[in-house]
Amino acid sequence: MLIFSFILFAWAVYNFPAILIGVNQIRRKNADEELWEDYTVESLPFFSLIVPMKNEEKVAGRILRSLMKIDYPSDRYEVIVVEDCSVDETWNVCKQFETKYPKRIRCFHRNFSKGKPSALNYGLKFARGEIIGVFDADNLVKPDVLRRTAKYFENQEVAAVQGLLSSINPEENMVTKLIHYETVLQYHALLSGKDKLGLFVHFSGTCLFIRRKVLVEVGGWRDEELSEDLELSARLAEKGHFVKFASDIQSWIEVPSSFGQLLKQRVRWFRGCMEVALKYGKLLKRLNKRCLDAEMFFSGPFLMLMVLATYILSLFNVFASIRLGTYTSGLLEFTSFVTLFGLFVLGIGLIYASKPRKINNLMWLPLVYFYWAFLVFVAFYAFLLIVFRRPKRWVRTPRTGVVKNHQLMESLRQWEVKNP
């Protein structure tokens, strides 16, 4: 129990500086920073944007329409759609856009489906760009996404870039609001801080960009992985490649709107993360802060199992007829302090990272805590699937096409006013 408490406290303390620095970055960020203009069309990199789709008829048109509005020379990027054995109208929607934009969109149909990583590898075969980008079908991107990304790749040490993800439907219901706050803390605060400290930045499945030569060097995506983005991130770290987090490259994603959808999504995420952690424990052999931080990140779901153990002991201490000893009770109280400390860190993040910044955001902290408790049990279920060697299933999250984000709509409106 002492070891559990110490590890959990160390974990909270370890991430605290990154969150504080990330929050400070957000506070100082000028949202209207100007793009550089000193370039020639020939000097801009050619992008191949791969969009895997399966049964995405409700959102397919939106992402393709968004990608066609990108403010970047039309002959310097292409969109590759991999339609992965859909049973709805996804293929017809994609073909309509291919017909309308024959020089910019290419669509490929597969008669079988093996999951997202397999679809990405299939699209990579046809990609012509020196920079490979990945977007999910539910995404909505800012028009300046490629111009800002190209600027980061001017630095030859940058092998890949992960953009900022925001929720497209935070105002749909309580579930989407909680996931929105989680996204704010993870991407707006924590990853910003880690990037500033030169620590491990992981891919998040979408709005990611990687040099083609680097992607080919490491062997593309692994078809059998449940979290292909995390596994690729681990391989890049293993090879010493640098991934940059770019908070000014923004994409909006549709988050699950029910606990059922959330459960299926997070089981896949947690199981995938645990399997990557077990597979890449060898990263500790590389004595540098980025690999060490990568191991700390991948150990997250296993730490959640420790949290579950403290929950069970606490309930036993409260309701069991046989009381635990003073020593154990003291450790449980210390663990409770660690939890409060974690909520304090979350509160700082919510105040500064959320827009608009309101002290009222703190009222969500109790719900965030129960949401966290729910995820702890999800992590335990994912762990059991590994222990009992249950078959892997790449389960996609259903999309509804709902847009419930007033800030997003206002941001896009302002962009259209400035760029008629």
pLDDT in tens, 223-244: 999 999 999 999 999 999 999 9
Alpha-carbon distance of 390 to 384, in angstroms, equals: 9
pLDDT under 70: residue ranges of the chain: 1-13, 23, 26-42, 313-365, 415-420
Q: State residue 356's pLDDT score.
A: 58
Structure token pair of residue 329: 């009770």
If we measure between CA atoms, which residue out of 222, 393, 375 comes closest to residue 308? 375
Mean of all residue pLDDT scores within the chain: 85
Tokens (6 digits) for 208: 């990611």
Q: What is the pLDDT of residues 38-93, one digit of tens each?
A: 555 668 999 999 999 999 999 999 999 999 999 999 999 999 999 999 999 999 99
Burial of 90 (0-12, 13-18, 19+ CB in 10 A): buried
Burial 309-334 (b: 16+ CB within 10 A, else e): ebeebbeebeeeeeebeeeeeebbeb
Q: Give the helix ranges, DSSP H, for 259-299.
A: 259-279, 289-298
Here the tokens at position 380 are 């335990």
Structural domain tally of the chain?
1
The pLDDT value recorded for residue 287 is: 74
What was the pLDDT predicted at 182? Answer: 83
- The sign of the CA dihedral 273, 278, 283, 287 is positive
First to last CA, the chain: 62
Tell me, what's the pLDDT at 283?
Answer: 82
**Which amino acid is located at 323 in the chain?**
R
Residues spanned by the domain of 326: 1-420
- Domain of 147, CATH number, reads 3.90.550.10
Give the pLDDT confidence of 117-142 residue by residue, as tens digits. 999 999 999 999 999 999 999 999 98
Distance (Å, rounded) from C-alpha 205 to C-alpha 409? 24
Specify whether the CB–CB gap between 32 and 112 falls below 8 A: no
Looking at the DSSP assignment, which residues form a beta bridge with residue 245? 162
